[in-house]
Amino acid sequence: MKILVSGGAGYIGSHTVVQLVAAGYDVVIVDNFSNAHPTVLARMESLTGTSIPLHSFDLTDHDKTEHLFATEDFDGVIHFAGHKAVGESVEKPLDYYENNLGSTFSIVRAMQRYDVDKLVFSSSATVYGEDQAAATEDRRTYATNPYGWTKVMQEQILRDVAVAAPHMRFALLRYFNPVGAHPSGTIGEDPSGIPNNLVPYIAQVAVGKREKLMIFGGDYDTVDGTGVRDYIHVEDLAAGHIAALKALEETDEAVHTWNLGSGKGTSVLEMLRAFEKAVGREIPYEIVARRPGDIATSYADPTKANAELGWSTKKTVEEMAADTWRWQSQNPEGFAG
Ligand code: UDP
């Protein structure tokens, strides 16, 4: 089985590539390095002991995408590539729509032209808008920012394609909050600039790159007033993609939607405490105003994925913190270090 992994040099993509190779798949990566570092390839190759073909181009380029499909005989695609920063999407909506929708158009057109029928798509809990507590897959989807709308729209596009091409198979994977790193500490999340997300921010405070964590809001209606999220270890998330790919090989249904989360909520302060335990010292923080657009609580109901994929999360919040810390402390400057 030969699988094209778009965005395979990125955070979730790279962890999934390593697991795909370990599971016996041939993997080909496409990545334009808009939010990834070339060093990751050598790290993936060292973890897998194989050479991994990588094509560096922009997937919105239809001709280059079709050329790749013409020269390789893919059995399926895992499509991670896309812009993902909520705040940036508000500033640059056209960039987000053009890039995220455009790359999906290229990939699906090339799949149709070259008879590739299985696609696993990176969606997000963001498609539940403000209704993310105990979210089940049948909940109505809508978004509160352009990034989120690109996910809602891409899901809709794939559903429409499935009606027109009923032999195709699509898995729409709605991720909750991916965190953690490979247990080796050699690959992990490497955000450019100031991290938007909680765990990379805590990691940079812990390693001394930032002064203190700003906790966005201490007065939510939650266990301790701070925001609650469903953190999922990137290794569990990667395993979810392989389970979804296998499920697509066996199913008669064209489109499947699966939440990938633990089903458990963790507050900002609880995550901070787990990190302090991993690091072995206190991490400075200050509670400041809420971040505009944030919701109090988000966690998956993962029952459907558990039952239909035979998959569930295995790793604890403590392991998420320990693995993130191993990655961050071994690579204080990320891949560029
Ligand atoms: N958060 C925070 N400080 C930060 C970044 C995030 O307090 O520097 C909080 C945020 O308000 C939310 C939680 O951490 O309650 C997770 O935020 P993140 O941006 O990682 O994920 P998302 O909001 O997209 O679920």
Q: Can you spell out the DSSP letters for 11-35?
A: HHHHHHHHHHHHTT-EEEEE---TT
Domains of the chain: 2-180+231-261 (3.40.50.720), 198-228+264-306+316-336 (3.90.25.10)
Both structure tokens of 86: 């909520």
pTM: 0.98
- Distance (Å, rounded) from C-alpha 87 to C-alpha 92? 9
Are the C-beta atoms of residues 44 and 87 closer than 8 Å to each other? no
> pLDDT tens across 237-254, in order?
999 999 999 999 999 999
* Predicted confidence (pLDDT) per residue in 244-293, tens digit: 999 999 999 999 999 999 999 999 999 999 999 999 999 999 999 999 99
Catalytic residue among 25, 96, 128, 147: 147
Ligand 1 close to Cβ of residue 215 (< 6 A)? yes
Q: What's the sign of the alpha-carbon dihedral 29, 35, 41, 43?
A: negative
Pairing of strands 177-179, 231-233: parallel
Helix, strand and coil percent figures for the chain, each rounded to 5: 40, 20, 40
The H-or-E segment that residue 161 falls in is helix 146-164
**Are the beta carbons of 104 and 145 closer than 8 angstroms?**
no
Query: Rounded to an integer, what distance in angstroms lies between the CA atom of residue 121 and that of residue 80?
Result: 7
Q: Indicate the top mutation candidate among 123, 131, 151, 197 to test ligand 1's pocket, ranked by most ligand atoms within 8 A of CB.
A: 197
Cα separation of 333 and 301, whole Å? 36
Q: Which ligand 1 atom is at minimum distance from the Cα of 215?
A: 7
- In tens, the pLDDT along 91-132 reads 999 999 999 999 999 999 999 999 999 999 999 999 999 999
Closest alpha carbon to 320 in 183, 166, 144, 173: 183
